[in-house]
Structure 1
Amino acid sequence: MFKEFKEFIARGNVIDLAVGIIIGAAFTAIVNSLVADLINPIIGLLTGGTDFSGHYLVLKGEVPPGASLQVARDSGASVFAYGAFLSAVINFLIIAWAVFLLVKAVNRVQSAASRQKEAEAEAAAGPTQEELLTEIRDELRARRT
């Protein structure tokens, strides 16, 4: 069983998947920083606050004025944390866009490689049987005249 597991791990697909997960985690950290450190402050300025991800509405309960989202949650109040949700949506859209661009680039490279292989195979194959027969026919016609 250990031998089978070792063969499974040694396959390229598993290693590629592991690399993808590690890079994805690192990329997520970059996107989170982009949203938290660059995008949210700009949105916060437009909405009158400094930390957009901390914006919320109190649905039920008492919260001291100006309290942070965490303080509001800790006080037992029911809050509508729209800022945190919008931050998550922005994160998702940025990651989805980056993945889309990556898949598009990979597809373009694979398509070009496939076309090149087809062209090489076609060139290496030489003339088709039909082309050879056409040449023979034309040669025979030329000899008759």
Structure 2
Amino acid sequence: MSSGGVGPLCFITSRVNTAVYQQTLLPSADELYGDADFIFQHDLALAHTAKSTKTCFSDHGITVLDWPANSSDLNPIDNLWGIAKRKMRDMRPNNAVELKATNEASWSSIKPPHCHRLIASMPCCIEAVINAKGTQTKY
């Protein structure tokens, strides 16, 4: 996701190792940003912090935001997943094909202004975490 909207929804049927992560991320970043500069935020999962991922990002000119682990209060994608899940609340898929379609419909219904609001809320989220001395916030 970016402040301009959601990227493609990727269905991964294997474990997310460094190769899978890099092969999935790069096309998504190209679709979201094209040649524009951006700062990428991810968490500290092993596939994200591996030396080969750092090299891959460097080779592709991707700047990564230095970010603490387990900081869901400060990660807009976690809020976006919550929105997508709420949109699916009343849907009752009966099989894997219907579940995939439900996920795609929920994801594609998220419009750019909503993503922009999530990104724009970050200064307030950061302030709330600082005021809470790192403990849980309403975000």
Q: TM-score range by the shorter chain?
A: under 0.3
Larger Rg: 1
With the length of structure 1 as denominator, give the TM-score of the two structures. Answer: 0.25
Q: Which has a greater percent of helix?
A: 1
Which protein has greater RCO, CA pairs closer than 8 Å, 6+ apart? 2
